[in-house]
Copies of this chain bind each other. A is one copy, B any other.
Amino acid sequence: MIEITAEKIEVQKVIDAACAPECGAVAVFIGTVRNFSRGKPIYRLEYEAYPEMAAKKIQEIVEEAKKKWEVRKAAVSHRVGRLEIGEIAVVIAVSTPHRQNAFQACQFIIDRLKEIVPIWKKEIAVDGETWVDDHA
């Protein structure tokens, strides 16, 4: 399961999609909206995606993780639209027979997602709106 969604993400649904019975180890990453960013308080975030390409790139990342770390199943859900403080922006779940691989594969997926997947976030703060550019 790979989805770009405007609906609230249900963590259990993503976990269920990554975990067949007897999956062994499941590693999950949940990213939520913080109220502070680079030293200043923010009110909320707005996420925008190029959804078809985002889903395609996430699929490629998942395929790479499957090859490298014996991943059995993986699920990724990324939210778009307006997000309030504390809301979930992304959930990644990965199941593997052995736990070390689960952590490594899950971390790889979130790291690569942040690098190459066409999703953007805009911070709405007291001093205005800014498209985040972590690479600047």
Contact = CB atoms under 8 A, between A and B. Distances in A.
Place the interface of chain A in its size category: 20 to 34
24 contacts: A11-B12, A11-B15, A19-B30, A21-B32, A21-B85, A22-B32, A22-B34, A22-B85, A22-B86, A23-B34, A23-B86, A24-B34, A26-B31, A27-B28, A27-B29, A27-B30, A27-B106, A28-B28, A29-B103, A34-B97, A99-B107, A99-B110, A100-B107, A103-B106
SS of A interface (majority)? mixed
Interface string A47-87: 00000000000000000000000000000000000000110
A19 B32 contact: yes
A108 to B, nearest CB: 10
B27 A32 contact: no
A30 B34 contact: no
A24 B15 CA distance: 19
